[in-house]
Amino acid sequence: MTNSRPKNPRIRVAIAVLVGCLLGLPTGWLLASLAMLPAFLGLFFFMLLGLLLGATVYRLASPAAPLGRPLAVGMGMTVVVVIWTAGLVGEYGLVRGYDLPWIGQNGMEWCAVDGDATQNVRDWFRRKSLTRDQVVQLRRATREAFDSQLKIKYPPGGFVGFLRWSADGDGTLDLPRVLSPSTQTLQPKQQGTVWIIRITLSFILLAGAVLSQVLGLARKANKHAPPSEDPTHQDLA
């Protein structure tokens, strides 16, 4: 029986993990939005998308099977950590706001996407018509104030400060309304114990879904194939 295993199975393993991680970046960002569904309904999508990405990694790496169980676990957990971290970064971006590249009239340019911080301030002016320049001013000043407040109250600010703020059950930020001499209070949609429980469950469900697919690489073996002395046919540890 011909051995269909690739000559260098480590390359297949590396490609599978790389593709899984690359696909995991937009997947994590998508999950950041779905995670905010009420009653933890968004956790269902961590399982669903985890199964899909796990199956993708399995399919790409299957020619290199069978693999050692530690290697299969390491592959799966690498993809899980990338997706989960991308989701947390996505949550930060959805609150602060972010910019996306866009092809406009002047070629490639950056298109601003308002986060919860800017929307919270703009809602106070919902009965007032704002000019384009005022909207740009409000967006820029709100992002700067959000960054400044995180750095002051939850050092070192930035993404780490956002995590500390979300984990704080009573954390609030007072953002200036920019176009009015007053402030607007901002709180995370989920915070404290609820947020911690949700991100913990999301990691567990995501890991379980991905590993349920990837661990098949450690079990896949042709029981009817004769022993091979080719060193490349040995299980990758």
pLDDT, tens only, 104-149: 777 888 888 999 999 999 888 888 888 889 999 999 999 999 999 9
pLDDT at 224: 39
Residue 22 tokens read as 């690359």
Cα–Cα distances in Å, from 172 out to 1, 77, 167? 67, 34, 11
pLDDT at 99 over 50: yes
pTM to 2 decimal places: 0.86
pLDDT tier at 56, thresholds 50, 70, 90: very high
Note the pLDDT tens digit of each residue in 41-51. Answer: 999 999 999 99
Give the separation between CA 16 and CA 81, rounded to whole angstroms: 15
Comparing CA positions, the residue from 176, 179, 197, 213 lying closest to residue 49 is 213
The pLDDT, as a whole number, for residue 195 is 96
pLDDT value at residue 180? 86
Please report the pLDDT score of residue 230 as a whole number: 46
Q: How many CB atoms lie within 10 A of CB 57?
A: 28
